[in-house]
């Protein structure tokens, strides 16, 4: 994987064996994106309490539709979705899989053919909410954090958080997965790592990848096996008709 987010010169093909992760800023005028959303998505957008949160939701979901539509060569507003038992969205038809994450001004969309993927971005705070580690981190993860302070503690805290959430989103269980029952690397410098998983998933080949730097945020990607090529792209709405 490259160390940076690449601006594509044309819309990149997504062959089997590749995972594409797109990054976009969501703090922009959402009006053009609204036309792509379904009635249900507009209802969700309208339910946000502030214009900023509404705009971010619209930008992220319009970009998601546009990326899926361009990849499949289908109009973005025609796509239909379904959800698994834990709310993970998927396309109603076909083998193109995706996962979306948004936090602060950033959104990430991961795409792959025929394999589930999970992605997570979290806006970072210099004073991380350490109480989260008490309820959601494994004993080994808490031990890894215990000797740290300052920026090293914040970096390890968010590395663990984004890796755990990317994994739980990859397997599709979200927060209903027991977060204390598996362990990820707490070393922020470890670009690719294998989690220690509970018995029912122990044989699976889930691999965790850090993503190139995002200003003010940490991010991770979960892929169900090693050996996938990972490309990281910048999404510029105006280039793709948004």
Contact 101, 107 (CB under 8 A): yes
Complex with ligand COA: residue 65 or 88, whichever CB lies closer:
88
- Helices and strands (H, E) in the chain, number of each type: 6, 10
Per CB under 6 A, the segment of 85-93, 132-140, 196-204, 208-216 that binds ligand COA is: 85-93
Q: How far is CA 141 from the centre of its chain?
A: 21
**DSSP codes, 191-209:** SEE--B--GGGTTS--EEE
Complex with ligand COA: residue 8 or 89, whichever CB lies closer:
89
Q: Please state the closest distance from residue 233 (CB atom) to ligand COA, in A.
A: 19
Q: CA dist 22 to 14, 112, 147, 179, Å?
A: 12, 12, 35, 26
Neighbours of 224 (CB within 10 A): 17
Binding test (CB under 6 A) with ligand COA, winner from 11, 48, 86, 240: 86
Complex with ligand COA: residue 148 or 174, whichever CB lies closer:
174
Q: Please state the closest distance from residue 100 (CB atom) to ligand COA, in A.
A: 4
Among residue numbers 140 through 179, which ones bind ligand COA (CB under 6 A)?
165, 169, 172-176
How many residues comprise the chain? 242
CA distance 40 to 99: 18
Asked if residue 185 binds ligand COA (CB under 6 A), the reply is no
Alpha-helix runs per DSSP H in 7-149: 31-34, 39-46, 51-72, 131-136, 139-146
With CB under 6 A as the rule, give the number of residues binding ligand COA.
17
**132: its two tokens:** 């989260």
Among residue numbers 15 through 34, which ones bind ligand COA (CB under 6 A)?
none
Complex with ligand COA: residue 81 or 240, whichever CB lies closer:
81
Asked if residue 101 binds ligand COA (CB under 6 A), the reply is yes
Binding test (CB under 6 A) with ligand COA, winner from 12, 89, 212, 224: 89
Asked if residue 78 binds ligand COA (CB under 6 A), the reply is no
Q: Which residues here bind ligand COA, judged by CB under 6 A?
A: 85-89, 99-102, 120, 165, 169, 172-176
């Amino acid at each position: 994987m490259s160390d940076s987010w690449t601006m594509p010169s044309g819309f990149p093909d997504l062959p089997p064996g590749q995972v594409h992760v797109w990054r976009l800023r969501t703090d922009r005028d959402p009006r053009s994106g609204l036309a792509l959303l379904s009635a249900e998505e507009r209802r969700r957008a309208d339910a946000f309490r502030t214009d900023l949160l509404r705009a971010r939701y619209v930008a992220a979901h319009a970009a998601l539709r546009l990326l899926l539509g361009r990849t499949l060569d289908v109009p973005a507003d025609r796509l239909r979705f379904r959800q698994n038992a834990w709310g993970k969205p998927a396309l109603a038809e076909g083998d193109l899989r995706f996962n979306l994450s948004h936090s602060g001004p950033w959104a990430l969309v991961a795409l792959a053919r025929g394999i589930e993927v999970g992605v997570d971005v979290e806006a970072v705070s210099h004073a991380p909410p350490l109480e989260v580690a008490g309820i959601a981190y494994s004993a080994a993860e808490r031990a890894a954090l215990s000797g740290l302070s300052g920026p090293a503690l914040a970096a390890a805290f968010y590395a663990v958080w984004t890796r755990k959430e990317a994994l739980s989103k990859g397997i599709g269980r979200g927060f209903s997965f027991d977060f204390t029952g598996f362990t990820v690397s707490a070393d922020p410098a470890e670009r690719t790592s294998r989690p220690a998983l509970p018995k029912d998933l122990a044989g699976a080949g889930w691999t965790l990848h850090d993503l190139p730097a995002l200003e003010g945020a940490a991010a991770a990607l979960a892929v169900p096996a090693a050996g996938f090529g990972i490309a990281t792209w910048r999404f510029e709405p105006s280039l793709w008709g948004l």
